[in-house]
Amino acid sequence: MAGKYQAPRGTADIVPAPYAKEPVFEVHRWQAAEQVFRQVAGLYGYQEVRTPIFEDLDLFLRTSGETSDIVSKEMYDFTDKGGRHVALRPEGTAPAMRAYIEHPMGGQGVVTRLGYFGPVFRYNRPQKGRYRQFHQAGYELIGSPSPLADAEIIDVTVRFFHLMGLADVVVKVNSIGRGETRADYERAVLQHVGGWMADQDGETRAKAEKNPLRLLDTKDPDLRRVLDGLPSILGFLGDESKVSFEALQGHLREQGTAFEVDDSIVRGLDYYTDTVFEVVSAEFGALCGGGRYDGLVEQLGGPSTPSVGVGIGVERALHVAELAGQAAKPKVATRWYVVAATEAARDAARGLARELRARGAGCSLDLDGRSVKAQFKQADRNGAVLAAVIGDDELAAGTVSVKDLVTGEQKTLPHDVVLRIADD
């Protein structure tokens, strides 16, 4: 039954299990992932924020970065009917910080922990695990300069993956420094790739000069060769950055986080300072990305507010959980299906449905006078586990026949006993 329209390229409908085109788009898996998001938020004290899915374009240009592909090439931006230039959010951190300042949630010496779960948009080439609309679960720890904050965010990240059924994730951490020492390293990178730069067009050169670190996560094989032998950024860190990075590693060891230092992690957004980290899978690339962004709140007109956070790619987490055989099982939301076995029993069937729902027991029923066979078929499609059947005999006796749809076992019980079962 192909209709005239399909979900736009790079997007997917999330639908009940029997209808999903791919297992990761079965809605019960998303409900489970949202549950994990909330459970982790509760375990560490992160409060949820829900920001609009579009913002002033300028918010992203100023923060996430004019030199990042995410902002310069991949944004869904448009001018609305009022002439405002807006963009569908390409990430969650800048909107969360905008909201943090707007309300305002912070203050001198106050630490604020925020979480969010929702769609983000990037106009890139769709492929396995890469979409144009995808979802991020994000956690932001705002207002602490301590490496303990970085360690907490990494712990939160690992906890999220554990609760998704992924026990063995390894976190890759790096420090990209800040200020003068970062500028020294950027000069060293530009010097190292000087010959290559001379052969590039003006736009590529300008972008590289604005943010040389972005060259380090290139997939261009020529540039990769050129980058061979480049000294590590870790050798350039200033004293404060070095001390923080050492302290972070100490805290990670103490809390039992499996991690490795990987000096090739540089991240694709412009706001990072010092700590950056990712969890990477062979099949789907980065499952999450995060780090410290001490200058972002100030950039948005707020007070100096050192902060650290993570964005987890929900589709990718679900893909990996599926591969690992750790997918969530469907939960039965609507346990009962009330079957009217005869025309005369239809009123009583509706009455029983009302009584079940009044007790908080989910139930569904046929509204169109379908055959008993069709009603049982519908019960199956709904995922019901119990059918409450009322026919002429049950009507006369004040009973209900309850059929277990999994085992096939059937018992005829007094009406009030059935209601008591529903209470359990």
Residues in touch with ligand HAM (CB under 6 A): 91-93, 122, 124, 129-131, 134, 136, 138, 140, 268-269, 286-291, 293, 309-311, 313, 315-316
Q: Nearest to residue 327, comparing CAs of 13, 11, 17, 21?
A: 17
CA separation for the pair 101, 298 (Å, rounded) = 10
Q: Nearest to residue 318, comparing CAs of 12, 46, 7?
A: 12
Neighbours of 177 (CB within 10 A): 24
130 and 74 in contact (C-beta within 8 Å)?
Answer: no
H or E element in which residue 401 lies: strand 399-404
Q: Distances from the Cα of 256 to the Cαs of 152, 230, 288, in angstroms?
A: 12, 32, 19
> Strand ranges (DSSP E) for 25-182?
47-48, 54-56, 77-79, 85-88, 112-121, 133-142, 171-175
CA separation for the pair 90, 69 (Å, rounded) = 11
